[in-house]
Amino acid sequence: MNNIETIIPIEIIELEDKHNLHPIIEAKINGNPIRLVIDTGASHTCIDKKEVKSLLKNKNNISNDIVMGIGNKKMRNTIVNIQELQLGEVIIKDYPVVALKISHINKMLKMLGLKPIDGLLGSDLLHKYNAVIDYKNSCLTLNTNTL
């Protein structure tokens, strides 16, 4: 992989008040546009189960792993290999993500007049690409120099 730095614009959305902010980026799965919340508290990148239904048809792309939740409560989740995840200029091939039901989040966003999301960009990729979240300039920088 070439050494690149990619800068991705961030949309900051307010939930309920100015103290409840969420940064969102535009990305692509297999060429299709998606919206991801940047979630430094999520250990894994997650995609809405609805978004990965076509991937679930290929049983070779699925595994059931146990992922620890808050308070060490064990939760069984479906892991799906995404053929191609694009974050800015960074293209990631055959990457495992957690298929997560997020319809309750999108219901809340709809009630607030906001666009739905398709998943969470988790610490797995933020760490791998030495991500820098720049709130002042509303951008996310990813580096492949560390790979």
Distance between CA 68 and CA 76 in Å, rounded? 9
- Give burial (CB, 10 Å; 0-12/13-18/19+) of 140: buried
| Per-residue model confidence as pLDDT tens digits over 67-80 | 555 555 566 678 88
| Per-residue model confidence as pLDDT tens digits over 80-108 | 889 999 999 999 999 999 998 888 889 98
Place of tokens 């999108």: 106
- Banded model confidence at residue 1, pLDDT cuts 50, 70, 90: very low
